[in-house]
């Protein structure tokens, strides 16, 4: 029985392939909408999966047990901008450090800075971080791959750690910057003592890091921070500790709940925010791709209706020699499914190529490792199954019409 079914399906397949080959141009035009839609979906999912993994890695370098305190709108406007915002000060840092469940806290200064080296000028992010062991609270984002970290004696010194992008031969300013080189930050000369590890983030990989006290001196915002990072003690929930910190600062500032001029978030909440934004972007692009798939399915349906008309006499002959309605139905369903399957195969190939092209362009021209192509057998098999099913569904109505043809009338059809 199983052998008979396999033989029948094989016959249906060869008949369907023959029909597609006899109408090559129409077949390719029919599949065009499907493979464009599948290509867009596969490319989007592949890139978004890679981006999700890269973002996860970025946040893992901060740590899941971190709390971030910042002015109310710290994520809006240019980096380091605090115009019109509340301030996070040493006083606030003290409140955070005293909160139950906080193991330690450190403040960071973040400003757009003018970097000068070898006669060239570039505006980059400038970080001011503590020159003590407390910098470990900030996570591994400030680890160095060359040279050394800041020491206690560097508190007011003009020493700097440069981003990893400067360590290449041509550098980001046309020349390599290494340990021992002299650079100017905001017109002040600094000696490079370290190179940060590569993060894959273009902005961070060209950022300059200097001691916190030195940053206060050259930026003129003494005792103020752009944000404070706290690490939670083991056994405490970051969200619970964040609520305690928020309540303590709110009471200190005599503000009502919901009207705070600051934010307290866990690194998990920040990650969830980025993931939600990414999900919205995915939904929009998939929606656009779905339009192409709808157009493609209409094309398959139109082609199959035309095929039924063209092969009416053939259907009549098949029925007159013993073919059942079920046989005719399956024959046309297999053919319409093949339109979807072949369109899906071409679309997957194009989609993966698009994803790899985006990855290459982002890495080579933008210096970003966030846009990575990530695929899996499940993605490919899922796309093939979806395209085949879409083809079958699009051809269901024409196939049903073919199956219901009266063999006598079909044989008389001209």
Q: Is 127 exposed, middle or buried (0-12, 13-18, 19+ CB in 10 A)?
A: buried
Q: What is the pLDDT of residues 390-404, one digit of tens each?
A: 888 888 888 888 888
CA atoms within 13 A on the CB side of 371: 18
Cα–Cα separations (whole angstroms), residue 285 to 73, 131, 155, 312, 361:
28, 45, 49, 41, 20
- Only one residue has tokens 């290459």, namely 360
Residue 240 lies in a domain: no
Kindly state whether residues 86 and 54 are assigned to the same domain: no
Please tell me the distance from the alpha carbon of residue 378 to that of residue 20, in angstroms, as a whole number: 28
Both 42 and 72 in one domain: the answer is no
Q: Concatenated DSSP letters for 170-229?
A: S-TTSS---TT-EEEETTEEEEEEEEEPP-S-TTGGG-EEEEHHHHHHHHT-TTEESEEE
Residue entry with tokens 């450090």: 97
Which residue range forms the structural domain that includes residue 136? Answer: 66-233
pLDDT in tens, 313-348: 877 777 777 778 888 888 888 888 888 888 889 889
Residue 402 tokens, joined: 């073919």
299 and 345 belong to one structural domain: yes
Query: Does residue 131 sit in the same domain as residue 71?
Result: yes
Integer Cα distance of 123 and 216 in angstroms: 18
296, 307, 336 from 30: Cα distances, Å:
7, 12, 10
321 assigned to some structural domain: yes
| Residue 151 and residue 74 in one domain | yes
Q: At what angle do helices 90-98 and 238-253 cross, to 10 degrees?
A: 130
CA torsion sign for 126, 77, 260, 258 is negative
**Mean pLDDT estimate for the chain:** 80
Identify whether 173 is part of a domain: yes
Is 250 a member of any domain? no
- Tell whether 91 and 53 lie within a shared domain: no
- Tell whether 3 is covered by a domain: no
Helix H or strand E encompassing 66: strand 66-71
Could you tell me if 121 and 94 lie in one domain?
A: yes
pLDDT at position 227 is 92
Secondary structure of the chain: what % helix, strand, coil (to 5)? 55, 15, 25
210 Cβ contact list (under 8 Å, min separation 6): 126, 127, 128, 158, 159, 160, 161, 185, 190, 218
Residue 362, domain member (yes or no)? yes
Tokens 């894959």 -> residue: 200
Kindly give the pairing relationship between strand 159-162 and strand 188-196: parallel
Distances (CA, A) of 138 to 63, 66, 90, 143, 329: 9, 8, 17, 10, 65
Pick from 324, 322, 330: nearest CA to 392:
330
Among the candidates 233, 264, 281, a domain finishes at 233
Question: How far apart are alpha carbons 101 and 129 in whole angstroms?
Answer: 23
Rounded Cα distance between 153 and 213, Å, is 11
Contact in structure between 221 and 90 (CB atoms under 8 Å): no
CA atoms of 350 and 337, how far apart (whole Å): 20
The answer to whether residues 224 and 338 belong to one domain is no
Q: ∠ CA 395-401-407 to the nearest 5 degrees?
A: 135
Are both 45 and 74 inside the same structural domain? no
- CA 132 – CA 233 distance, rounded (Å): 20
CB 391 within 8 A of CB 34: yes
Residues near 376 by beta carbon (within 8 Å), at least 6 away in sequence: 49
Q: Is the residue at 238 inside a domain?
A: no
**Residue 202 falls within a domain, yes or no?**
yes
Is 104 in the same domain as 21?
A: no
Q: What is the DSSP letter of 371?
A: S
DSSP class of residue 301 equals: H
Question: Same domain, yes or no, for 226 and 302?
Answer: no
Instruction: Please tell me the distance from the alpha carbon of residue 198 to that of residue 171, in angstroms, as a whole number.
Output: 14
Based on the fold, state whether residues 292 and 405 are members of the same structural domain. yes
Structural domains of the chain, count: 2
pLDDT tens across the length of the chain (414 residues):
555 555 655 666 666 666 666 677 777 777 787 888 888 888 888 887 777 777 666 666 556 678 889 887 444 444 444 444 578 999 999 999 999 999 889 999 999 999 988 888 889 999 999 988 777 788 778 888 899 999 888 988 999 999 888 887 665 666 788 899 999 999 999 999 999 988 777 788 889 999 999 999 998 878 889 999 998 888 888 889 899 999 999 999 988 888 888 888 887 777 777 777 777 777 877 787 778 788 788 888 888 888 777 777 877 777 777 778 888 888 888 888 888 888 889 889 988 888 888 888 777 666 566 677 778 888 888 888 888 888 888 888 888 888 887 776 766 665
């Amino acid at each position: 029985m199983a052998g008979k079914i396999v033989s029948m399906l094989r016959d249906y397949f060869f008949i369907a392939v023959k029909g597609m080959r006899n109408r090559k141009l129409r077949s390719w035009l029919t599949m065009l909408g499907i493979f464009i839609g599948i290509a867009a979906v596969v490319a989007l999912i592949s890139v978004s999966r890679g981006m999700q993994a890269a973002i996860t890695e970025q946040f893992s370098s901060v740590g899941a047990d971190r709390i971030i305190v910042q002015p109310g709108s710290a994520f809006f406007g240019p980096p380091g901008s605090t115009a019109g915002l509340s301030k996070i000060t040493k006083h606030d840092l003290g409140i955070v450090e005293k909160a139950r469940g906080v193991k330690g806290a450190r403040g960071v200064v973040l400003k757009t800075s003018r970097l000068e080296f070898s006669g060239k000028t570039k505006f980059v992010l400038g970080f001011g971080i503590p020159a003590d062991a407390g910098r470990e609270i900030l996570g591994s984002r400030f680890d160095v791959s060359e040279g050394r970290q800041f020491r206690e004696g560097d508190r007011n010194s003009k020493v700097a750690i440069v981003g990893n992008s400067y360590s290449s031969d041509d550098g980001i300013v046309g020349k390599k910057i290494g340990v021992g080189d002299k650079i100017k930050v905001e017109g002040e000369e600094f000696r490079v003592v370290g190179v940060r590890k590569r993060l894959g983030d273009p902005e961070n990989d060209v950022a300059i890091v200097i001691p916190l006290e030195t940053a206060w001196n050259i930026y003129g915002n003494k005792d103020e921070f752009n944000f404070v990072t706290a690490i939670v003690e083991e056994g405490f929930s970051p969200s619970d500790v964040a609520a305690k910190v928020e309540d303590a600062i709110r009471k200190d500032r005599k503000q009502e709940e919901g009207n705070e001029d600051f934010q307290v978030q866990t690194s998990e909440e920040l990650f969830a925010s980025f993931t939600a934004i990414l999900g919205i972007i995915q939904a929009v692009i998939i929606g656009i791709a779905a339009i192409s798939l709808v157009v493609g399915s209409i094309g398959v349906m139109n082609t199959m209706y035309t095929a039924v008309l063209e092969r009416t006499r053939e259907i009549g002959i098949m029925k007159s020699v013993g073919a059942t309605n079920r046989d005719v139905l399956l024959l046309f369903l297999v053919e319409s499914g093949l339109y979807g399957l072949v369109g899906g195969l071409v679309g997957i190939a194009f989609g993966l190529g698009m994803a790899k092209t985006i990855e290459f362009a982002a890495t080579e021209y933008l210096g970003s490792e966030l846009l990575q192509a990530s695929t899996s057998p499940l993605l490919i098999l899922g796309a093939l199954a979806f395209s085949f099913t879409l083809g079958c569904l699009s051809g269901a109505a024409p196939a049903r019409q073919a199956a219901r043809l009266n063999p006598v009338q079909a044989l008389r059809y001209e």
